[in-house]
Amino acid sequence: MKDTVKTSRTAGYLEKIFRALNAKYFNNELEEPIITIQSTPKAYAHVTVAKAWQRGDTTRRELNIGAGTLDRSIFEVVASELHECVHIYNMQNGIQDCSRGGAYHNKKFKEAAEARDLKISYDPRIGWSITEPTEALCEFVIEQGWDDINMNRIESSYTPRGKGAGNATGKPTSGNSNPNSHSIKYVCPCCGNSVRATKAVHIMCMDCNEPMQAQ
């Protein structure tokens, strides 16, 4: 998306992503939640069990993306949103995928998430919850043309939970983990047009007839 400082535009972008995920992975069966952007210490995202928003006779769940986590790669943001979509799917279908107040993710969550192009790892405190995008999900993101959000709330106290610096809806960030390791960004040296690929490629900018350079 284009650089912006408007949370309304960012929320609209996340709504667009939700609808695409709903169509691809859930046959458009998910009830659309209210997308919010709020601080969520120790988590990248959450979805409410109860339908927390109401207008007239219509009620909806809330799906929140942490305001202090938006500067991750778009692949990681989409993985977090898809993680919450899996929860919505399970709730709609009467599948209990969490315990301990919603913090501990069981194998039912792992199975439903991995069936939808997420890689799920285990942490003894939060269960099968550490989430990474698979190559298939990264390819889908690239096909959609989704770009990094490049907007973030400064939260110096943000301390995600899980292994090292991991958390309930994201991958561990300790060791040599790189949030951009799933793709390579290529940029035209003349006009600045950019694309992403999940492997090394030789690609030309058709506007400038120049080879694009890996960043």
Read off the pLDDT of residues 131-190 as tens digits, 9 standing for 90 and up. Answer: 999 999 999 999 999 999 988 888 764 444 443 333 344 433 333 344 445 567 777 777
Do residues 36 and 15 make contact, with C-beta atoms less than 8 angstroms apart?
Answer: no
Task: Give me 108's structure tokens.
Answer: 């039912």
What is the reported pLDDT for 156?
Answer: 60
Do residues 74 and 136 make contact, with C-beta atoms less than 8 angstroms apart?
Answer: no
Please tell me the distance from the alpha carbon of residue 48 to that of residue 63, in angstroms, as a whole number: 7
* 3-state SS class at 66: strand
What is the reported pLDDT for 42?
Answer: 78
What is the reported pLDDT for 97?
Answer: 96
Provide mean pLDDT across the span 53-70.
94
Please tell me the distance from the alpha carbon of residue 70 to that of residue 15, in angstroms, as a whole number: 14
Task: Give me 192's structure tokens.
Answer: 């600045």
Please tell me the distance from the alpha carbon of residue 213 to that of residue 203, in angstroms, as a whole number: 8
Please tell me the distance from the alpha carbon of residue 82 to that of residue 154, in angstroms, as a whole number: 24
Do residues 118 and 140 make contact, with C-beta atoms less than 8 angstroms apart?
Answer: no
Look at residue 207 and tell me whether its pLDDT is greater than 50. yes
- For residues 3 and 34, the model is more confident at 34
Q: Mean pLDDT check: name the lowest of 93-97, 123-127, 199-203.
A: 199-203
Amino acid, single-letter form, for residue 11: A
CA dihedral in degrees (10, 14, 150, 200; nearest 10)? Answer: -150
Please tell me the distance from the alpha carbon of residue 68 to that of residue 121, in angstroms, as a whole number: 23
What is the share, in percent, of the chain residues with pLDDT greater than 70?
Answer: 83
Q: Mean pLDDT check: name the lowest of 8-22, 163-177, 196-210.
A: 163-177
Which secondary structure element, helix H or strand E, spans residue 135, and what is its range? helix 135-144
pTM: 0.74
Q: Exposed/middle/buried for 96, CB within 10 Å: 0-12, 13-18, 19+?
A: exposed
pLDDT in tens, 21-30: 999 999 999 9
